[in-house]
Amino acid sequence: MKRREFLKGAGVGALAVGASALSGCNRDEATATTAAARPQETFEWKMVTTWPKNFPGMGTSAEKLATLIGAMSGGRLKVRVFGGGELVPALDVFDTVSQGGAEMGHGAAYYWKSKSDVFPFFSTVPFGMNAEEMNAWLHYGGGLELWKEAYAPYGVIPAAAGNTGVQMAGWFNKEINRLEDLKGLKMRIPGLGGEVLKRAGGTPVNMAGGELFLAMQTGALDALEWVGPYNDLAFGLHKVAKYYYYPGWHEPGTTLEAIINQAAFEQLPADLQSIVISACRVVNQDMLNLYTARNHDALQTLVGKHGVDVRRLPDDVLVRLRSLSEEVVGGLVGNNEFARRVYDSYEGFYDQAVKWHDISERAYFDVRG
């Protein structure tokens, strides 16, 4: 059987049923959903992203998401991907999808912090949950429901669609030996990590990835964080900075998102809706796998071939940054009832995840050595 015929005849129904089951539907409901689909209808969507076109990991995962949706739908839903700046500026992705200029976007919730202080909770929190814990909170701890509630006023539906894992602390052109070395530093660092840097005396800058090399080269930035070795090598950041610090205290497990225009989503038949959501789940895990597979080799290239000086942030600096992080995260709540609900949900799940991982993951790492 030809591949396309197989996808149309078998894959679509099975995947739609599987997605419905994930949503809590029973088999009869899932079958009814598939039967109710209108196979003669086709749809064409645009996806705008915050990443350069086909940038390794992030950009390629957006392309993979579009390809997967097309294949799973048997070509009934085609998604064309635009890199940051191709159709709209990288940091205009959220507004573009919200206003219907594109049906989908791919980015990260902390880029839209100016709209709501709680948005970064759905991407990453300094010294917070790692990728595995974030996925568990979002999909089984109530996080996704809160995320949908946060985005609902903007006519946007969120879905986890990638995770980088623990990132690096960033690139610097001077040594960081004490907290005072961060004072006056102009550093590209988004989200809550940027707020922590501000409290430490630095100046956070929210800047799209495609602008980083030139900004560092010209002195517009003194330091920057992007992702980790795999992506940082691709951008050539070793050419504009000397010191490469770890660990990524500010981004311990960064969830990337697909955002979907609600009106466009509701125009899809039920099986295509299920396909879109299921494809996001697939890409969410796939991206984490990719970074785990690629980061080590990239780091060896940075060190062995390009002579990058890799250093660990001093313990006293990390201790102070953690204290400042607690102040920043706790201060977001204020008198905002919704922010309190998000905070309580996140912190409650974090506490239980830590307790479990203390006798599972952490204990295993200790004995593995």
Mean pLDDT value across residues 161-165: 98
**The whole model's pTM is what?**
0.88
Task: Check whether 59 has a pLDDT greater than 90.
Answer: yes
CB atoms inside a 10 Å sphere around CB 203 = 16
**10-19, 181-190, 195-204: least confident range:** 10-19
Pick the more confident residue, 32 or 80.
80
| Mean pLDDT to the nearest integer, 145-161 | 98
CA 61 vs CA 28, 97, 190, 280: distances in Å = 33, 18, 21, 10
pLDDT score recorded for residue 2: 41
Q: Where do the structural domains in the chain lie, given as residue ranges? A: 1-36, 42-165+253-292
List, edge to edge, every strand of the sheet that includes 309-312.
203-205, 186-188, 223-224, 170-172, 243-246, 309-312
CATH number for the domain whose boundaries are 42-165+253-292: 3.40.190.170
- CA dist 29 and 359 (Å) reads 40
Over residues 180-193, the pLDDT tens digits come to 999 999 999 999 99
Q: Do 328 and 195 meet the contact criterion of CB atoms below 8 Å apart? A: yes
Is the per-residue pLDDT at 12 higher than 90?
no
CA distance 150 to 342: 9
pLDDT digits (tens, 9 = 90+) for 330-357: 998 888 999 999 999 999 999 999 999 9
* pLDDT digits 0-9 by tens, 255-274: 999 999 999 999 999 999 99
pLDDT above 70 (res 299) = yes
Confidence of residue 10 (pLDDT cuts 50, 70, 90): very low
pLDDT at 293: 98
Confidence bin at 40 (pLDDT 50/70/90):
confident
Res. 11: pLDDT tops 50: no
Residue 41: helix, strand or coil by DSSP? coil
